[in-house]
Amino acid sequence: MGNKNQISAFKAIVKDHILLTDGAMGTYYVMHHNGKNTPETENIENPGLVRNIHREYIKSGAKLLRTNTFAANCRTLDIDHTTLRKIIKAGYKIAVEAAKEKDVFIAADIGPIPESVSETPGKAYEKNRLDEYIELLDAFIEEGARIFWFETFGRTEDVEFCAAHLKNVCPDSFVIAQYAFDDTGFTREGISLSTVCSKMIENRDIHAWGFNCAMGPLHMLSLIEHLPVEKKFCLSALPNAGYPQIENQRTVYPGNPEYFADLVMKMVEAGARIVGGCCGTTPEHIQAISHRLFEAKYKISPKTKEKKKTVGWMPAVANPFKEQMDKGKKAIMVELDPPFSSDTVQILQSVEYIKDCADVITIADSPLGKVRADSLVIAAQIKRKTEVETLPHLCCRDKNIIGLKAGILGAHAEGIRNILVVTGDPLPGNERTSAKSVFNLNSKGLIGLINDLNKEIFVNSEINIGAAINPNVPNFDAQLKRTEEKVKAGASFFLSQPVYSEWAVKNLSRIKKELGVKVIAGIMPLASYNNAIFLNNEVPGIVIPDEYVNRFHKDMDKEEAYRTGVAIALECMEIAKDLDGYYFMPPFNRVTMIAEIIKEMKNNEQR
């Protein structure tokens, strides 16, 4: 069958019929064939074994085979590009041979290429990774592939990139995108089902999309039942056999073909047009589905009634800070570091001292990589005991997506409605042997996670999302672009690094004007000559002009240094007066100094 005729026939099948795919390759290979190699390398080492697995699935009723290439990429298999191409080409040829003279389609199977921890993320690194996707696609195209199956992805960008490439080089191709969600409807990267759904519906280069892996059939069915059925879109569903357990050091899935098939048929009734199995499924699972499809005469009309998506709802909690910003009133914020111990007496005393001056108390998240009490917990306690609005910082450094999401849910339950997302200071050198940075998400990804929670769970009681901005960097255009990405992800206000110059304030004004967001200027009073020298030389992101440093000298007494620091802070506030407020970072948690600066500011305004 020619490639164009193949695609025409394939489109006709998925338009009017239910298409049954194969089941798992990797787990079936390991469980039933005592596989010692990675499944993909067997395309070269033992092609007969791979061919026989394909034939088992065809015999069971599968009408589409996925090539044994899910993890075929240089990073996962630790292979060179020459070997990769051999694996890809062999994998496609084996599937074609297995389906020879059978009425079966072949799909080029592609999994996500992982990010390498040995490389520094950036444009050069991303280009290399995307180049490898192109290499995979081109190798498949050379072998005649026209159906492309992307599975177990956690974000849409990579699939969208590949689909755009295919549209340019192989316009007659058919693209199927599969994403792995947990049972709450989020991918491992924290992307919500509603976000993925919207992007897939809008993307004309992707012809079908759906679910695979990560969950058993019951939970997948639940997600599908709450998903609106798009009349012009093809939905796929390939659940795992269930949830695995370890037996004799082996991962074992439940043997449940009949139960599995019953639930897959309910997915068909809910709108799925392409069905099959993922991890733990076997030819027996596919055969059980095939029997039920045959009994239903292999043509089922899915329910066309639109389903209202079920979203969370809870009573609104007042957010004085957001209301204040929405009205255009300047905000006064004071940052406090949480304690090194579990004793919160001192920080609560500091809040009581400053609360008449400050609108919001911000709580740092283990700054400089030094362990302190959890910022979310401390912020909740402060709000509960002092009734002052709080803004906990939440960094990406210390927790994976599960920990981050759990913390956000808990904070929301405690009434926290403002969070500042930060990347997080790197760990000190002497800490790296006992503690490891996680960075499961970057700051943009964490903003997106909270924004999705707002849409999915916190409806009517959303979290107000902020982010950090450094106006002191030499290439501010690059900083502006990253800030714009954070705004698109869901950030609505920004707190800046300390500003000491008109140049820094002009950069912040660009953010405010060009992106239409609230920008709050960072004010860090200088305490002494040594303090100014230290900040200027050892703390990243802080640039103090010589004119301010030179106002201090080594022989100053404490009172003179104090007055000099207050004066400089007031001057910095004056040049930043057209921004949306001030974010004070007290030197050594000296809230008394901040209180005096705020008092002086108000006196100056009244004169």
User: Residue 250 has what pLDDT?
Assistant: 59
Q: Return the exposure string of 79-94: e unless at least 16 CB atoms fall within 10 Å of the residue's CB, then b.
A: beeeebbbbbbbbbbb
Q: Which residues pair with 422 in a beta bridge?
A: 395
DSSP reduced 3-state for 107: strand
Average of per-residue pLDDT across 459-480: 92
For 340, phi and psi rounded to 5 degrees?
A: -75, -20
Our count of domains for the chain comes to 2
In a domain, 347, yes or no: yes
Q: How many helices (H) and strands (E) does the chain have?
A: 23, 18
DSSP annotation of 366: S
Average of per-residue pLDDT across 376-380: 96
User: Residue 431 has what pLDDT?
Assistant: 52
Q: What are the respective helix, strand and coil percentages of the chain, to the nearest 5?
A: 45, 15, 40
In a domain, 167, yes or no: yes
- Contacting residues for 420 by C-beta, under 8 A, at least 6 apart: 362, 391, 392, 393, 394, 466, 467, 468, 495
3-state secondary structure 394-461: EECCCCCHHHHHHHHHHHHHCCCCEEEEECCCCCCHHHCCCCCCCCCCCHHHHHHHHHHHHHHCCCCC
Average of per-residue pLDDT across 125-143: 87
State the amino acid at position 118 in one-letter form: S
Average of per-residue pLDDT across 577-594: 94
Percent of the chain with pLDDT over 90: 68
The Cα–Cα gap between 390 and 377 comes to: 11
Weakest-pLDDT range from 66-80, 307-321, 462-476: 307-321
C-alpha torsion sign, points 376, 378, 383, 384: positive
The verdict on 410 and 534 lying in the same domain is: yes
pLDDT over 90 at 515, yes or no: yes
User: Residue 314 has what pLDDT?
Assistant: 58
Closest C-alpha to 330, from 548, 576, 139, 500: 576
Residue 102: give the domain boundaries. 3-295
pLDDT over 90 at 395, yes or no: yes
C-alpha torsion sign, points 257, 261, 262, 264: positive
CATH number at residue 455: 3.20.20.220
User: Residue 311 has what pLDDT?
Assistant: 46
The verdict on 260 and 325 lying in the same domain is: no
The verdict on 373 and 510 lying in the same domain is: yes
Of the residues 295, 329, 353, which one is the last residue of a structural domain?
A: 295
In a domain, 212, yes or no: yes
The verdict on 217 and 347 lying in the same domain is: no
The Cα–Cα gap between 209 and 289 comes to: 20
The verdict on 262 and 204 lying in the same domain is: yes
User: Residue 272 has what pLDDT?
Assistant: 93
In a domain, 258, yes or no: yes
Average of per-residue pLDDT across 184-196: 88
The Cα–Cα gap between 447 and 253 comes to: 35
Report the Cα–Cα distance between both ends of the chain, in Å, rounded. 87
pLDDT over 50 at 123, yes or no: no
Weakest-pLDDT range from 240-249, 290-299, 342-351: 240-249
User: Residue 315 has what pLDDT?
Assistant: 62
User: Residue 425 has what pLDDT?
Assistant: 75
In a domain, 571, yes or no: yes
Mark out the alpha helices in 466-586 (DSSP H runs): 476-489, 502-515, 529-538, 546-549, 558-575
The Cα–Cα gap between 294 and 455 comes to: 40
pLDDT over 80 at 519, yes or no: yes
User: Residue 118 has what pLDDT?
Assistant: 43
Average of per-residue pLDDT across 587-604: 91
Average of per-residue pLDDT across 67-85: 94
Confidence of residue 200 (pLDDT cuts 50, 70, 90): very high
Percent of the chain with pLDDT over 70: 89
- pLDDT averaged over every residue in the chain: 88
User: Residue 34 has what pLDDT?
Assistant: 64
The verdict on 381 and 511 lying in the same domain is: yes
DSSP annotation of 13: H
The verdict on 324 and 432 lying in the same domain is: yes
The Cα–Cα gap between 31 and 250 comes to: 9
The Cα–Cα gap between 222 and 217 comes to: 9
The verdict on 135 and 233 lying in the same domain is: yes
C-alpha torsion sign, points 309, 275, 234, 109: positive
User: Residue 434 has what pLDDT?
Assistant: 62
Of the residues 261, 295, 329, which one is the last residue of a structural domain?
A: 295
Q: How far is CA 72 from the centre of its chain?
A: 24
In a domain, 312, yes or no: no
